Each structure stands twice: as structure tokens, then as C-alpha cells.
């Protein structure tokens, strides 16, 4: 099988971790007989430095022509002085909008080998932790009308959703719940926000199509507390854009290291953009210190969701588990008695396991 993948290494540690993901993909291709067709593109600060814009048209066109996109990371203090439309992060919004990526999947998994890194007391995570945050990605306050008055002393941001936008993300969440533990928690602020009341009504209507799924609702402020009070109550969480942005970051911290967690941004067909949830960490760029596992696990998500190659995805995830079982750790997940390795060696160890 030929896999056409657009690669955007980006900024900071992005090139470091994408290089190790390529190493692992090469091992998968060899083992399972797939041909890998890679194309490299600029986005973020690297694109600003090279061509003067965060998302060149050639990058968007190249990604549209691929079957999937693997992104490293964008941004950094170097470009903090730039205005809003020229910031590196605008590349992410441009890619999501230009590629029609409305569904963001952020798994939060506490690996048993890293249980000591969890900030919660052990009784709260006994039996492990494995939840999925399904975040709407192209609507809500991040994409609504915004501005300031003429005097510049007042500003506004508009949160807006249509029934169709809510339906497509909620149905995606129900489908994912059906493949997991058949429990869906919808998170909103329906006691205050009209958009949340629309959201809740759509969830309740679609629930009739999924009678096997247990559905409950939580207000976002309560959900934020419940994630640290009783995280094992959650299986699949579905929520709007800003709430999902905040809660998925909170969920990632429960697992102990953002260096371990992948993400996928999907549209209604098989196309997806895959990236680690962490940032560009320019302070350690090029120093062989970054943890590449989140990016490598993002490749596993790519194989599973875009290419429907479950065995190949399982091979990557199992390889990561075996490397952790053997005691190998990058600095961010290092603990007493473990063996410290750099970015490159971690990628090599996982590829060898495959």
C-alpha cells in the first residue's frame, strides 16, 4: 500500500521529533510492505522566516493533495512580537479551516509504566486511566466575529454554532464511544449559554440513534473539577472548541507528561492531520532532549484513523510499551532506576522493537 503523507516539521523541537517519527514509519513500512511517499512543507515560524507568512499557499495545497499530514510543532518566543495575523499559530487555524478538520481527538492515557508521574493520588487512578476528548475544532468563539469599538476601549468575541456543526462532531463522538466503553459525557454551559442549550438539545436528539451508549451531561466548571477528583468516571468526552481546548490540556496533565500524548484532527472522510499535543520547546531544540513518543504515537493514530491499518498502529503502540517496560526514558519522564536516552535513541529503540 502506498501512503502519501505531507510532513510539516515546523519550529523548535518539531524537526527533531518528526525525524524520529519518520524512523518508526520506515520500520513499519519495511515490516508490513508499505511504500511511504513523503513531501515536506513549511508552516509556522519557519515559514515566516523563509517566505514571510505563517502558512504559504504551497503548504496548504500540498496538504490538500496528500492523504494525511504529520505536524511537529509551531511557534516560539522568537515570533511573539508579531501581530495576530502573522503569528506562527495562525498556521494551525489556517490548516484546520483550509483542510476542513472539524474533529480533534485527544486521548489521555496513563501508561502503567509511568504511574508515578501522575500528580493525582494513586487511589484515584487505580486500574489505569484511558479517556478520549473529542473537541469541535472549527466553530465557537475561536472562529466567531470579533473586534473592538472605535475608541479601542471595548472588545468582543462571538461564540456561534449551527445545528449542523454540532451534529457532525457529536455523531463522531457517539461512533467513537461505540468502539470503546459506550459512555459519552457531553460538556457545556447550558445554564448560561444559548449555544450550549443548542448543543445539549442536539446531543439528546442523537442519543436515540445510539441506544447502547450511556449519555450524561456536565457543566464545564464541574467537569474541570471532576477530571482531578474522579477521572475514571470518563470514557469519551465531547465538547465545543474553547472548552475542549482547556479540558484536553487538563486531562493531559493527569497523565504526567505531555510528551507522551498524540492527537488527531479529522474531517468527515478519512483525511486527518496528526500532531503531538505539546509545544515547540525551543529551549531544547536540536539538543537531543525532546521526547518523540507523542509524535510516534500520532503516527499510530494516523495509521488507524486515516489508513485503516490497525495492525500497523498496534505494532507502534506495542513497541512503545516494550521500550518503556525495558526502562528506557527521555528526560521528561525519567525516574529513579530508569535508563536515560535522548530523542534519537528513543526513536531508534522503538523502531527496533517494530
pLDDT per residue over 205-235, tens digit each? 999 999 999 999 999 999 999 999 999 999 9
Query: Which of 65, 116, 157, 221 is an active site residue?
Result: 221
Query: Which of 245, 274, 305, 332 is an active site residue?
Result: 245
Contact predicate 235/181, CB 8 Å: yes
- Report residue 93's pLDDT band, with 50, 70 and 90 as the boundaries: confident
Q: Over the stretch 271-320, which tens digit does the pLDDT of each residue have? A: 999 999 999 999 999 999 999 999 999 999 999 999 999 999 999 999 99
For residue 126, the model assigns a pLDDT of 83
Examine the residue annotation and report whether 179 is marked as an active-site residue of this protein: no
Q: Over the stretch 80-91, which tens digit does the pLDDT of each residue have? A: 998 778 999 999
Examine the residue annotation and report whether 23 is marked as an active-site residue of this protein: no
Examine the residue annotation and report whether 245 is marked as an active-site residue of this protein: yes
Q: Over the stretch 121-151, which tens digit does the pLDDT of each residue have? A: 888 888 888 999 999 999 999 989 999 999 9
- Report residue 245's pLDDT band, with 50, 70 and 90 as the boundaries: very high
Examine the residue annotation and report whether 314 is marked as an active-site residue of this protein: no
Query: Which of 16, 41, 189, 210 is an active site residue?
Result: 189
Q: Over the stretch 143-178, which tens digit does the pLDDT of each residue have? A: 899 999 999 999 999 999 999 999 999 999 999 999
Examine the residue annotation and report whether 90 is marked as an active-site residue of this protein: no
- Report residue 259's pLDDT band, with 50, 70 and 90 as the boundaries: confident
Structural domains of the chain sorted by starting position, each given as residue range(s) with its CATH number in brackets: 1-101+264-354 (3.40.718.10), 119-254 (3.40.718.10)
Amino acid at each position: 500500500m502506498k501512503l502519501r503523507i505531507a510532513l510539516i516539521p515546523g519550529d523548535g523541537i518539531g524537526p527533531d521529533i518528526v525525524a524520529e517519527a519518520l524512523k518508526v514509519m520506515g520500520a513499519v513500512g519495511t515490516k508490513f510492505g508499505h511504500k511511504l511517499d513523503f513531501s515536506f512543507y513549511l508552516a509556522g515560524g519557519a515559514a515566516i522566516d523563509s517566505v514571510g507568512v505563517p502558512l504559504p499557499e504551497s503548504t496548504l495545497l500540498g496538504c490538500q493533495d496528500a492523504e494525511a499530514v504529520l505536524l511537529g510543532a509551531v511557534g516560539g518566543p522568537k515570533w511573539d512580537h508579531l501581530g495576530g495575523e502573522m503569528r506562527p499559530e495562525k498556521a494551525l487555524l489556517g490548516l484546520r479551516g483550509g483542510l476542513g478538520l472539524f474533529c480533534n481527538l485527544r486521548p489521555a492515557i496513563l501508561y502503567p509504566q509511568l504511574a508515578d508521574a501522575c500528580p493525582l493520588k494513586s487511589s484515584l487512578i487505580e486500574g489505569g486511566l484511558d479517556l478520549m476528548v473529542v473537541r469541535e475544532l472549527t466553530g465557537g468563539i475561536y472562529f466567531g466575529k470579533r473586534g473592538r469599538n472605535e475608541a479601542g476601549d471595548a472588545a468582543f468575541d462571538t461564540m456561534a454554532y449551527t445545528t449542523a456543526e454540532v451534529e457532525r462532531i457529536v455523531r463522531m463522538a457517539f461512533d467513537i464511544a461505540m468502539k470503546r466503553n459506550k459512555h459519552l459525557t457531553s460538556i457545556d454551559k447550558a445554564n448560561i449559554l444559548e449555544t450550549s442549550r443548542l448543543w445539549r438539545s442536539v446531543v439528546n436528539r442523537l442519543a436515540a440513534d445510539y441506544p447502547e451508549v450511556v449519555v450524561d451531561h456536565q457543566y464545564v466548571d464541574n467537569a474541570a473539577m471532576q477530571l482531578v477528583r474522579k477521572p475514571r468516571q470518563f470514557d469519551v468526552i465531547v465538547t465545543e472548541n474553547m472548552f475542549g481546548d482547556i479540558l484536553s490540556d487538563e486531562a493531559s496533565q493527569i497523565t504526567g507528561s505531555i510528551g507522551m500524548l498524540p492527537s488527531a484532527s479529522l474531517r468527515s472522510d478519512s483525511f486527518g492531520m496528526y500532531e503531538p499535543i505539546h509545544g515547540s520547546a525551543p529551549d531544547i531544540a536540536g539538543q537531543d532532549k525532546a521526547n518523540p513518543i507523542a509524535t510516534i504515537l500520532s503516527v499510530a493514530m494516523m495509521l488507524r484513523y486515516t489508513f485503516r491499518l490497525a495492525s500497523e498502529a498496534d505494532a507502534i503502540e506495542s513497541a512503545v510499551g516494550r521500550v518503556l517496560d525495558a526502562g528506557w526514558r527521555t528526560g521528561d519522564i525519567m525516574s529513579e532506576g530508569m535508563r536515560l536516552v535522548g530523542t534519537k535513541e528513543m526513536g531508534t529503540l522503538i523502531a527496533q522493537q517494530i
